[in-house]
Amino acid sequence: MSTHDDEQLENLKRFWQDYGTPILVGSSIALAVFAGWRYWQQTKLETASQAASSYQKTQDAYQKLAVSPEDKTANTELQREAQRLIQDYTTTPYALNASLLLAKRAMDNKDLKEAEKQLRWVLTQPVDDGVKSVATLRLARLLVEKADNKGAIELLNKDTNVAFTPSREELRGDILKVMGDVAGAQKAYQAAIKVLEERKEPRPLLEMKMADVGLIAPEIKRPSPIKQEAGA
């Protein structure tokens, strides 16, 4: 072996003595991190799959109840799977939707207490604005059923989702009208119809409500789905 080869061998030995252990430790950490990431991904996938399967069962059960409201087997299935989602998969959208289904089932059965419990639970979760607005509107209607008009108005005041402005303001108008505040109802209905006019979305029932409080609703026509050619 040449002197150059001897030097290279000695340099390699010294390098391994100085850095061999750190390299092995670093490699082990990298492998552990990779393995952990793979496990997390796999677990996440399995969790999503299980939650989706459970939610499908709640939907199937609710559809059966829509046809046969007294179907005890379907009701048991709905309650069991929905509660499982809420308890075991709380952070998933499936849990929120399951709670909304339970609330709707409770409303169908005139169980306002249970419906309110489910809707308020949804509103305590970190939900997107759309789900929050849906739950808010449903809870506000429930409070009206309980003759808590003031509570319903206060709840509507907390929701500022522009996408739900027409529905929110229409409901506000309905409540204010019941409370005897005709001027307030007019203002709310006008706020609702203004947005619908901008969107070109007619809402005949709202127009009837406006007429009932002395307002004339603007004529709103949906845009034709067939676009005319230029110059036609």
Of all residues in the chain, what percent carry a pLDDT higher than 70?
76
What's the N-to-C CA distance of the chain in angstroms? 93
In sequence order, the 6+-apart residues with CB closer than 8 A to the CB of 221 are: 200, 202
* pLDDT over 60 (residue 72): yes
Is residue 193 scored above 90 in pLDDT? Answer: yes
**Mean pLDDT across the stretch 130-154?**
95
What's the pLDDT score for residue 18? 58
> What pLDDT score was predicted for residue 137?
95
Q: Where are the alpha helices (DSSP H) in the chain?
A: 3-67, 72-88, 93-108, 112-124, 129-145, 149-157, 165-178, 182-199, 204-212
Model confidence at 19, in pLDDT bands (50, 70, 90)?
low
Mean pLDDT computed over 39-55: 67
Condensed to tens digits (0 to 9), the pLDDT of residues 132-142 reads: 999 999 999 99
Give residue 198's pLDDT: 93
Give the pLDDT score at 27: 45
Q: Which fold has domain 136-222?
A: 1.25.40
Task: Give the span between the Cα atoms of 82 and 55, in whole angstroms.
Answer: 7
Q: Where are the domains of the chain?
A: 50-127, 136-222
What is the structure's pLDDT at 37?
42
* For range 183-204, the mean pLDDT: 95
**In the prediction, which pLDDT does 174 show?**
97
> pTM score, two decimals?
0.74
